[in-house]
Structure formats: C-alpha cells, structure tokens
Amino acid sequence: KSLEDVLKEKGVITEDDYKNIQKSSPIKYKLGDGFTFTSADGKFSTSIGGVYQLRYTLMDLDDVNNTAAKRAQDYSKFELKRIKLHFNGYAYSPDLTYKMQLNFANIAGGTTNNGGLLEFAWLNYRLRDEIQFRFGQDKVQFGRQWITSSDAQQFVDTSAVTSAFVPGYDTGVMIHGKIAGGLVNYNIGGYGGVGQNTYRTTTDNSFAARLAVNPLGDVKYSESDVEYSVNPLVSFGANFFRDTIYNGETNNLFFAKSTSWYGLGSTLMTKKFSAGEPLDFNTAGADAVFKWRGFSATGEYFFAEADGQTSKNRLRADGFYAQAGYFVIPKTVELAYRYSYIDPNRDVTNDHWVENTGAVSWYINKQNLKIQADYTNIHKQAAIASTSGKNATDDQQVRFQVQMQF
Amino acid sequence: KSLEDVLKEKGVITEDDYKNIQKSSPIKYKLGDGFTFTSADGKFSTSIGGVYQLRYTLMDLDDVNNTAAKRAQDYSKFELKRIKLHFNGYAYSPDLTYKMQLNFANIAGGTTNNGGLLEFAWLNYRLRDEIQFRFGQDKVQFGRQWITSSDAQQFVDTSAVTSAFVPGYDTGVMIHGKIAGGLVNYNIGGYGGVGQNTYRTTTDNSFAARLAVNPLGDVKYSESDVEYSVNPLVSFGANFFRDTIYNGETNNLFFAKSTSWYGLGSTLMTKKFSAGEPLDFNTAGADAVFKWRGFSATGEYFFAEADGQTSKNRLRADGFYAQAGYFVIPKTVELAYRYSYIDPNRDVTNDHWVENTGAVSWYINKQNLKIQADYTNIHKQAAIASTSGKNATDDQQVRFQVQMQF
Amino acid sequence: KSLEDVLKEKGVITEDDYKNIQKSSPIKYKLGDGFTFTSADGKFSTSIGGVYQLRYTLMDLDDVNNTAAKRAQDYSKFELKRIKLHFNGYAYSPDLTYKMQLNFANIAGGTTNNGGLLEFAWLNYRLRDEIQFRFGQDKVQFGRQWITSSDAQQFVDTSAVTSAFVPGYDTGVMIHGKIAGGLVNYNIGGYGGVGQNTYRTTTDNSFAARLAVNPLGDVKYSESDVEYSVNPLVSFGANFFRDTIYNGETNNLFFAKSTSWYGLGSTLMTKKFSAGEPLDFNTAGADAVFKWRGFSATGEYFFAEADGQTSKNRLRADGFYAQAGYFVIPKTVELAYRYSYIDPNRDVTNDHWVENTGAVSWYINKQNLKIQADYTNIHKQAAIASTSGKNATDDQQVRFQVQMQF
C-alpha cells in the first residue's frame, strides 16, 4: 500500500485528491514506454525502456541445383534479433521532444552490423501539430512497413520487399505535421544520403517526401487489428525518395545491400554501371491499409530506378506485398498470410523473388508481449537462386519469436 | 526527512502504515541491483545499476630464453577491466524476469573484444521454482567458477583453468529449476554453438547440462565466505558440454582461444586436424565447495576431448584448480591461495601450465565494494613457454583491483 | 498536484515540513545532470542524463591548386556529432563519486571512432577537498579548453590548436584537490600512455600535472560568461605532459593523429624518426581566462617536443589560440571571435595553420539548450595545404549546431 492509499483510507485526502496525485506522480510505468520520470515543474520527462526480440530460425535450403556430394548448408539459429534500449521524453517544454534508441544486437560477430548501435537520435520541436521540425537521425519516412516499428509487425519480420526498397535510417532535417487531427499527415525531409551512422564528404544529399490520408480517422503505424476496431479504418499513403550514390560507395542504405533491388539487379545488367560513377536513384511507393473488427489488410507497391550520370545506363525494378490477418480469438490469436514479389531488374527475365508466408501470433499483451511463428516459402528464379545452377529454388524457412517490451 | 517520516511523527499514520508504505515505495536502492523502480500495480519492475572493475597489472616476464639484446617486454598497465551496466527486472508478472547486461570495456583499441557489448540478454519464465524456461543469451551453465559472477571472485580474476575450459556466453534455450528449496539445482540447455554475440548458418548446435547438490542448504554462486556462515555449507556439482566446431571457424568460445586448452593443445598435436574439418568437442567437469565461519575452499576438475570427424585424430586435455581463503578479520579482510594446473595435450610432454596465486582482499561492503591484490607465479613448461626457447618460464604477475557496484 | 501540495493546502503539514520533504525527494531533475535518484539512507545516488549535439557543416574547399578538370570535393554534412549518456553519482558515501559517460556517436561508418564508446569511467574518493584520489578513465588534465566539456564551448567546437596538442582521454590514477575553496586547483596523474580505451604491454606510462590559480574565486571550466558575472573573474593555468610512444604505434592520443602537430610535423622533418623507435614527448601549456558582465576572453599557448631515443632526431612545435565573446543580449545571445595558430614543425617553413572564426550563439537555457553557428576561414600554408600544390589554401567552413542536455 502506498502513502496515498493509506491517507485515502484514513480520510485525510479525498478521492479527487487521490486521482490528482496519481496523475502527478514523478514515476510511472507506461506500456511501450517503460518507466517514465517527470520533474516536479512538469518541464522535463524521460522514459527508459527496452524491447527484446529473441528468435529461432530453421532454414531448409533447396538442393535442386546440387549433387549428392555438394549439399546446401541448412541452418538452425538462435538469435538475439533486436535488443534495444530507449531514452525518450521531453526537455525544457513538452513541445521539445527527443528519442534516443540503441540496438545492442547490432554489435555481433566482433563487428558492427546493420548500421550500428544508434537507431533514433532526434530532437523534435512542435510549433503546432501541423508544423513540426525534426533534426537528427530518424527512419527516412519512405515505406509504410518500414515506418512501422519492428515491434508492431504482423509477421516475425518485415517483408523482403520492404527490406529491398527502403533507404533505412539517416541523419537530416524534416518538416512534418498532422492536419485535421490526423486525417492528413505529411513529411518532407533532407538527409545525408548514405544511411544510418554513416557520413561522407560530398554535397549529394537525399530527399524524401510522404503523404498519408486517413479519411476515417488517424491510423497508427502498427500492423494487425489487435485493438479490435469497432469502426472501419482506412489509410492511403504515397512517398517519394531520391538520392545520389557513387557506384560501389560504402553506405548503410538498405536498398543498396547485395540482397536488395539494386544489389541484385545491378549484377544482372547487360550494360553495367561504371566503377565509382555517380548514380541517381529515384524511388516511389504507394500503400493502403484497412482494419475492422480484428481483420486487417495492408498492401504496398514500390518502383525504383537508378540512372548512371556518365554511362547513361539505367536499372529499373519494382515489387509489392499484400498481407491480411484475422483474429480468430479477438485481441489474442491472429492468423495472417502475406504474398511478396520483387523484380530487381525489369529488363532481364528469370530474376523474380516471390515469398508466401503464413503466420500465427499470440498477443499476450497486445504488441508489448507476444509470441509469433511464421513459415515462408522463398521462391527465387534461376538468375538469383539461393544455390547457383540452372533451376529456381524454393527454400523453406520457419521462424519463432518472443517479443517483450519492458 | 521524507513525507512518510513527517506524517509518522505527526501521528497521521501508524508505525505499521509506515512499514507498509516503505515496502511499496516505487523507488528503492538495492545493493548489487542498483536503483529499482516498481510500477504501482506491482506488475513491472526495472533495476538499473552497474559495476566498475578498475585494474592495475604489473607483469615481469621471464628472460630465461632471452639474450642480453633480446629482452622480454614487461608491462605496467592501467585498465578498465569491466565497466558494466545492467537493466534487470520483471514485466507483466513477477514470474517473467529479464536481465540485460552490457560491458562497455569490451570495446577497446578500436575494436570489439571478448565477444562484444551484450553479455546477458535473456527472458526467464518461472512456471514454478522447479520448472523454469529461459530464452536468450546467458552464461552456458558449465564450470562453477564461470557461472559465478566476475564480481564475486576470491581473486582478482578467475583461474587460468576456468578460462581455458569453459564455453562462455551463448544464445539458446534452457530448462532449469531449484528442487526442494535449492538442495538440488539443474540446468539443461541448447545453444547456437559459437559463443557470445556470434551466429553461424549450420545445424550444429551445442548442448550443456549441469547438476548441483547442496545437502546443507542452497549455496550461492559466490566465492569467499564473506557472509561468515555460522553453519557449514557444502556444494557438489557436475556438468557436461558438447559442441561441433569447424577447425579454424571464427567464434567467441572461450575454450577455442589461442591460450586455452584447444588453442594450445591443437598446435602440439603430432597428427593434426585437417583445415575446416568438423570437430566434436566433449567436455566434462566436477566441482566442490565448502564454507564455514569465514573459511572457504573450492575445487574444480575439467576433462576435454576433441575428435576430428574426418581425420579421426583426437586431442585430450585436462586441468583443475583448488583454492582456499580465510577471513583474518571476519567479513572484512581475507587471505587466499590458489593452485591451478592445465595439461592442454595429454599425449605430449613438457606442455604443463601451472599457476600459484596468493591474494589479499579488503571487503569494504561485501562483494559490492572491495579492493583486491594478488600475486601469481605463472609457470609454463618449454612447449608453451611465454618466451620461445628450450626452457620453461616463470612469469611474475602482480594485480591490484578496485571493484564498485552502484 | 503532488501529495505534499495537497497535504500542505489541508494544513496537515507545515511550510517547513514541505521544504524538508522536497529536499529529501528520492527523484529530482537537475539541469545538466538529468534525473537524479537518491536512496532513503542518503548513501547512494545516481543521475541519468544525456546530451545531443546535432550538427550541419558546409565546407567549401579552396580550389587554388586545382585545374578545371580536378576540383576539390566540397561537402554538405548532417551529423550526429555527440550523442552521450551518463550515469553519475555516489555510492556507499557521498565522498565516493563515479562518472560513466558513453558517446554513441563514436560508432559510425561500421567502426569505432575517436577512441570508442567510453569517455569517462572513473571512481573518485574525496579524503578532503584538498586531497582526492581518482582511478579510471578520465580526460588527461592538460589544456584548459580540452578539460572544458564539449557542452560548454563558446564555438561550435574546440579550436584546432586544442585538438592538435592535447593527449585526450586515458586510464590511470590521479591525485587532485581544491585549495582554499578553489583559489588553487592541482592535478597530478599517471596514465597508460596510449589514450582512450587502448592498452599496450610496455612499461612506458605517461605523466601529467596541472596547476590553476583563481585569485578572485574559483572559475569553472566553462567558456562564455553566460552567468553574467557581476564581479570580474580571472584564472591562470599551467600544465605539463610527458609520454613515450613508439613511432607508428597504434594509439588514441589526439596529438598523434595525422592532422595534429606530431602527425603533420613529423612528415615534414628533414631527418625523420626511425620506424618503431621510442620517442619521448614533452608538452607544456599555459592559459588565462577573464570574465566580466557578459564579456569573456580566453587564451592558451602550447609548446611540444618529440625526441627520438635512438635516432636522436627532434621535432618541435607550438601553437596558441585567443578568443573573446560578448553577450549582446545578456545571458542569451553572444557574439564571439577566435584566432588560432599552429606551427607543427618549427624547423621548417611554409607549414603554418591559421584559423579565424566568428560565432553567434543563442543560449536558450544557458549551456544546457543552445543553438550555435560559426564561420571559419581555414588557412593552411603550402606544405600542409588542404589540396596539394604550390599554393596555400583558404577553406571556408560554416557550421550550425543544436545542443540539448536532458
């Protein structure tokens, strides 16, 4: 029993006093935020919390291109997928907010992976809801599923399409706002252009813009209808991203990894880009969401193009995913299915990457504590098959994941 | 004076109320845990704390194999040996506990050392004391001294034998429990098989099992009898570990380092393992502890074997340590002595590694705040001598360490 | 409203009680420290806070040595310059203080930069104000501007001179104290000798000593007179540092970087040091500060010498900066100017590095929340010009920075 409880019982303070006091408590636990400390004058607040994603993956690679002597190496992997801590809050005024997030799973195997420890490190000033300024490292606001936290996914992880087309994190400035209580949200930003925790000394910065329309009310960036929306919700979004990268330049951009559209597609070009030449990247995407009474559906399409400034050669790619889920036990157990498709080079054939995924999720405490399992058939056509040879491959992947926010 | 103090003085609340309130305080300092925050509903708790191990080492290497012109390089080293932060607690229920521990001293010299920042990153679910499940990164439960925290050692650090034979940290799953209030403790676990913050894409996982029997009551994994046990305590343990590693594979396993049994022993083999061949490792150990009235004694024996799957070659090693300490000033000043012995390859001669260590420790606040110094004679026979030549070497090492938990 | 507020209103507690209770609060926000937790017995305290330095830099390199085809690469860079978290406090007694500070911006581009994550990691025992002992990693107490926190600078960053002559962080021991309430401060320390988070196995440790005299009262290590000192403040300091480094040895010493006095100067030597030869470094510096009614002036001079133990060759360098600022709007808006000069090798000509910097700073909440912009003309004579050629270069640098402590 707390002091407030005792004094309320004794009649020293009233029920109203009690409620006021609870509200002004300097320390509170908030789901998703963790422990929140607030200064007596209300001008400063810090929340300290974290999230664990502990994963087991079983991968059965297709042996169709192999001989009896040369087998593909299957694997069985226990993994600290994401181990994050965050320090969020506001300082000097509730209008000046900040978010610092560290992912310690990004140091593994003796080196820094996935761009390093720092994910978010931004400062946001709210002039009014409609006009806000952000400075620092943030998710580049391109791709609905990417903007959605890895903690709030319908499957064990984002789709292969999202990983293949989004830029990832970067440092820069952004103007953004919510208009009419979230019916329209916009973001316009300029960034360094080489991704998370990476810098370069050129003047080639990148640019991103996004517009989302939510005609029936604001729709959070969170997959699944774990809240059981009594009224239907829809959201439509469109985004654009442009950047200039030197061919072969070291960067932490997601779309430039060897398994992404540019990584895969550029190796298949008949007339390749020159070494070190500047490439102009233009990427566009559109997305839609529907949620109602435990049912949710999301779809997203991406188109991307890279143009060599000197060689004048061109690479074009596209891809999309569509996913739907339904809570067979409302707010608790969900079944979901996803189809995803990537064509990393539209000018060559036999290079499609198609994934079919089925998932079952047990939301013990909404997105805060959940256990998920999914099964994926990974189909890669011969030009990009997982084992080299003349045949397409179908790899079978089973993942199991426990997620806990504290 | 706190509000509770004032209200108790004024007679507004009773002594009993006061005690209840103290118990329900949302913020408390706990020795060893640090500041502990608890939510009003009692479902969430986080402790934030850390530990410093600041060390000075003076090493005088034996010059017996050297000429006047070629001297061994002695050293004088100030070191941040361990600088740790932890975020421990429970979430959603006191039965769902977690532990996250970071060691920032593991980034030094511009690179990641000793496996990286994350040490513990696990989630534990207690079905009942006897049946508990753990998922994530933990110490592989093999070797009493290794399971014992580096904060609770009788000497400045663990023995050379422990470093040479234990697997270290790894990610996996474990079933464990305490039976009959700790008279019997057991652990059975499966792990990735390549150690701390490291993953590989094979199906060769590792396995560990341990059984500890404490006939006179549960014995904590903490060296020295700083608590001054009025009644005698004894503990007997046995553990087993198996793994498959590819010869030359990159990993963070302690026993695969160049200075450990496998690292030293394999270079001395007459018929060596083939490059890249899979090796089956089987390791077993047994240990015993006795504590009474400020006196404590611990001993542990290890046996290890590596078998080449294709070459059929075999490496066998063993080693042990025995240590004892006594508080000349009860609960405050302890003198301790340790003998340790490693034979990294039982099939060759002249490869023994023997250490004799004497320590004096001042426990200012038990294991939480202490100052320790130890002196070690490191005797290495000619085949593994610290300076190459035909003679065994005797190096002299003096260490001084301040340890503080906050 | 807090419980104390309610009880004071109801007359249950007095105004005096109220004040006492506020003082004993287990959780408080302190500017610069962050949220501070204190145990009920007053023996333990931890402050958790952090600082953001978010920077934009525009660099226009001089093209004087270039042809039309070969242009210097200007740059436009958004940067997480410093993203720090600290865990400070005391434990077991207010006399045993500690400071742990992490800079997460030091992991970027996939590697560890600027010496790594850990900046401060020390333990300080205060026997009395005049005699204190410190063990761990700290700023080597050499160079006033270096000792001054990067959060408390008058310009966007420290001068090129400071970066070129100071040793940086290192691990070691220090005796220090404040005499007569801060009229005289002294530090004497011994360190590992190779800088931040780096160790070596030799017996060549380094040594530093500093004396500061503040005849009109203690002067904090903080630039600018943002406090608007009604009475004039002056400070005079002198420091000395010596070290032995092997030519080409890997280290994290600031003065050994390629852009510092030793890095620049040694490449210009006519009789060079031998590879790997031990070099004796001796560095001395003197500094002075004056502050009054919003005006502040600081100057610092360094002299450095490296002597080859075997080659007997010698390198000598010196440098200084002088800066002054005035608050055109008291406590809020300051204009400042700095001149800095480095001669990395006094025995050759045409190697001077001169910077002229003008800054404007808006102190929204003193040094805790401020926005700064500065412009620098970087003049490098031909021997060290930023683009190789026969002419000196003048590069133009504009920086903009937001700093927030939370």
Average pLDDT of B128-143? 98
Whether residue C3 and residue A26 make contact (CB cut-off 8 A), yes or no, is: no
Q: Which of B7, B50, B75 shows the shortest C-beta gap to C202?
A: B75
Give the closest residue to A392 by CA, choosing from A61, A69, A68.
Answer: A61
Closest residue of chain A to C76, computed from CA coordinates: A203
Residue A265, classed as helix, strand or coil, is helix
Whether residue C116 and residue B105 make contact (CB cut-off 8 A), yes or no, is: no
Whether residue A44 and residue C29 make contact (CB cut-off 8 A), yes or no, is: yes
Render each residue's pLDDT in chain C as its tens digit; 406 residues. Answer: 788 888 888 888 888 888 888 888 899 999 999 999 999 899 999 999 999 999 999 999 999 998 877 778 899 999 999 999 999 999 999 999 999 999 999 999 888 888 889 999 999 999 999 999 999 999 999 999 999 999 999 999 999 999 999 999 999 999 999 999 999 999 999 999 999 999 998 999 999 999 999 999 999 999 999 999 999 999 999 999 999 999 989 899 999 999 999 999 999 999 999 999 999 999 999 999 999 999 999 999 999 999 999 999 999 999 999 999 999 999 999 999 999 999 999 999 999 999 999 999 999 999 999 999 999 999 999 999 998 889 999 999 999 999 999 9
Q: Which of A1, A12, A78 shows the shortest C-beta gap to B191?
A: A78
Give A28→chain B minimum CA distance, Å.
Answer: 6
How far apart are alpha carbons C70 and C63 in whole angstroms?
A: 9
Residues of C in contact with B35 (CB under 8 A): 37, 39, 44, 46
Asked whether the predicted pLDDT for residue B11 surpasses 90, the reply is no
Task: Take residue C100 and report the two structure tokens written for it.
Answer: 């742990």
* Beta pairing class for B131-139 and B169-179: antiparallel
Domain positions in chain C? 1-30, 31-405
CA distances from C306 to A8, C247, C273, C278 (A): 74, 10, 10, 10
| ipTM, interface predicted TM-score of the complex | 0.95
CA torsion angle for A34, A39, A41, A42 (degrees, to 10)? -20
The CA-based angle C23-C29-C34, given to 5 degrees, is: 135
C-alpha atoms less than 13 angstroms from C-alpha of B43 in its C-beta half-sphere: 10
pLDDT of residue C56: 97
Give A371→chain B minimum CA distance, Å.
Answer: 12
Residues of A in contact with C52 (CB under 8 A): 98, 100, 121, 123, 136
Query: What are the two backbone dihedrals, phi and then psi, of residue A162, each rounded to the nearest 5 degrees?
Result: -60, -50
User: CB–CB of B124/B98 below 8 Å?
Assistant: yes
> A70: how many CB neighbours lie within 10 A of its CB?
9
Residues of B in contact with C100 (CB under 8 A): 50, 52, 83, 85, 104
Sign of the four-CA dihedral B140, B141, B146, B151:
positive
How far apart are alpha carbons A82 and C175 in whole angstroms?
A: 43
Give C308→chain A minimum CA distance, Å.
Answer: 36
How far apart are alpha carbons A227 and A236 in whole angstroms?
A: 20
* Mutation site, A46, A90, A101, interface C, largest C CB count within 10 A: A46
- The segments of chain A whose pLDDT lies below 50 read none
Residues of C in contact with A98 (CB under 8 A): 52, 404, 406
pLDDT of residue A25: 86
* Mutation site, A71, A75, A151, interface B, largest B CB count within 10 A: A75
The single-letter code of the amino acid at C75 is Y
Task: Take residue B367 and report the two structure tokens written for it.
Answer: 């294991």
How far apart are alpha carbons B366 and B149 in whole angstroms?
A: 14
pLDDT of residue C98: 98
Q: Which of B49, B77, B111 shows the shortest C-beta gap to C199?
A: B77
Give the closest residue to A202 by CA, choosing from A210, A190, A212, A193.
Answer: A193
Query: What are the two backbone dihedrals, phi and then psi, of residue B42, each rounded to the nearest 5 degrees?
Result: 75, 10
CA distances from B144 to A15, A210, B301 (A): 55, 57, 10
Give C3→chain A minimum CA distance, Å.
Answer: 6
CA distances from B397 to B59, B75, B338 (A): 5, 10, 14
User: CB–CB of B371/B364 below 8 Å?
Assistant: yes
One-character DSSP codes across B129-195: TTEEEEEEEEE-S--HHHHS-GGG-SSSS--HHHHHH---EEEEEEEEEEEGGGTEEEEEEEE-SSB
Give the closest residue to C288 by CA, choosing from C280, C300, C278.
Answer: C300
Asked whether the predicted pLDDT for residue B155 surpasses 90, the reply is yes
Phi-psi region of C198 (alpha: psi -120 to 50; beta: other; left: phi over 0): beta
Contacts B–C by Cβ distance under 8 A: 148
Whether residue A3 and residue C3 make contact (CB cut-off 8 A), yes or no, is: yes
Residues of B in contact with A77 (CB under 8 A): 192, 199-201
Residues of A in contact with C71 (CB under 8 A): none
Q: Which of C3, C87, C198 shows the shortest C-beta gap to B85?
A: C87
Give the closest residue to B398 by CA, choosing from B76, B34, B73, B143.
Answer: B76
* Mutation site, C199, C206, C252, C257, interface B, largest B CB count within 10 A: C199
User: CB–CB of B65/B382 below 8 Å?
Assistant: no
Model pLDDT for residues B355-372, shown as the tens digit of each residue: 999 999 999 999 999 999
Location of structure tokens 């540019």: A262
Average model confidence (pLDDT) for chain A? Answer: 95
Average model confidence (pLDDT) for chain B? Answer: 95
Residues of A in contact with B257 (CB under 8 A): none
Helix (H) or strand (E) holding A3: helix A3-9
User: CB–CB of A185/A239 below 8 Å?
Assistant: no
Report residue B334's pLDDT band, with 50, 70 and 90 as the boundaries.
very high
Residues of B in contact with C197 (CB under 8 A): 80, 107-109
Contacts A–C by Cβ distance under 8 A: 148
Question: Subunits with at least 3 CB pairs below 8 A relative to chain B?
Answer: A, C
Sign of the four-CA dihedral B31, B37, B41, B42:
negative
Average pLDDT of B123-142? 98
* Mutation site, C51, C52, C117, interface A, largest A CB count within 10 A: C52
Contacts A–B by Cβ distance under 8 A: 147
Residue B312, C-beta contacts closer than 8 angstroms, at least 6 positions apart: none
Facing residues of A380 across strands?
Answer: A353, A393
Task: Take residue B296 and report the two structure tokens written for it.
Answer: 């404590």
Strand intervals (E) in C114-216: 118-128, 131-139, 169-179, 184-191, 206-213
How far apart are alpha carbons C19 and C8 in whole angstroms?
A: 10
pLDDT of residue C388: 87
Whether residue C2 and residue A13 make contact (CB cut-off 8 A), yes or no, is: no
Average pLDDT of B83-107? 97
Q: Which of A29, A80, A111 shows the shortest C-beta gap to B112?
A: A111
Residues of A in contact with B7 (CB under 8 A): 3, 7
Residue C167, C-beta contacts closer than 8 angstroms, at least 6 positions apart: C140, C142, C191, C195, C206, C208, C241, C243, C253, C254, C255, C283
Whether residue B3 and residue A2 make contact (CB cut-off 8 A), yes or no, is: no
Location of structure tokens 């009959």: B180
Question: Subunits with at least 3 CB pairs below 8 A relative to chain C?
Answer: A, B
Whether residue C100 and residue B85 make contact (CB cut-off 8 A), yes or no, is: yes
Report residue B121's pLDDT band, with 50, 70 and 90 as the boundaries.
very high
Whether residue A116 and residue C108 make contact (CB cut-off 8 A), yes or no, is: yes
The CA radius of gyration of chain A, in Å to the nearest whole number, is: 23
pLDDT of residue A297: 98
Q: Which of C27, C77, C85 shows the shortest C-beta gap to A201?
A: C77
Give B160→chain A minimum CA distance, Å.
Answer: 23
Report residue B281's pLDDT band, with 50, 70 and 90 as the boundaries.
very high
Give, as one character, the DSSP assignment of residue C252.
Answer: B
Whether residue B6 and residue C20 make contact (CB cut-off 8 A), yes or no, is: yes
Residues of A in contact with C107 (CB under 8 A): 107, 112, 116-118, 197
Closest residue of chain C to A39, computed from CA coordinates: C29
Whether residue B21 and residue A6 make contact (CB cut-off 8 A), yes or no, is: yes
CA torsion angle for A362, A367, A373, A377 (degrees, to 10)? 130
Let me know how many helices (H) and strands (E) chain A has, helices first: 5, 20
Percent of chain B with pLDDT over 90: 88
Let me know how many helices (H) and strands (E) chain C has, helices first: 5, 20
Q: How many residues belong to chain C?
A: 406
Whether residue C7 and residue B2 make contact (CB cut-off 8 A), yes or no, is: no
Whether residue B6 and residue C21 make contact (CB cut-off 8 A), yes or no, is: yes
Give the closest residue to C84 by CA, choosing from C28, C169, C149, C137.
Answer: C149
Residue A78, classed as helix, strand or coil, is strand
How far apart are alpha carbons C267 and C271 in whole angstroms?
A: 10
Q: Which of A1, A78, A404 shows the shortest C-beta gap to B98?
A: A404
The single-letter code of the amino acid at B223 is E
Q: Which architecture characterizes domain C31-405 according to CATH?
A: Beta Barrel (2.40)
Closest residue of chain C to B74, computed from CA coordinates: C202
Whether residue C25 and residue A24 make contact (CB cut-off 8 A), yes or no, is: no
User: CB–CB of A371/A362 below 8 Å?
Assistant: yes
What is the rounded end-to-end Cα distance, in angstroms, of chain A?
A: 23
What is the rounded end-to-end Cα distance, in angstroms, of chain B?
A: 23
* Mutation site, B107, B117, B367, B396, interface C, largest C CB count within 10 A: B107
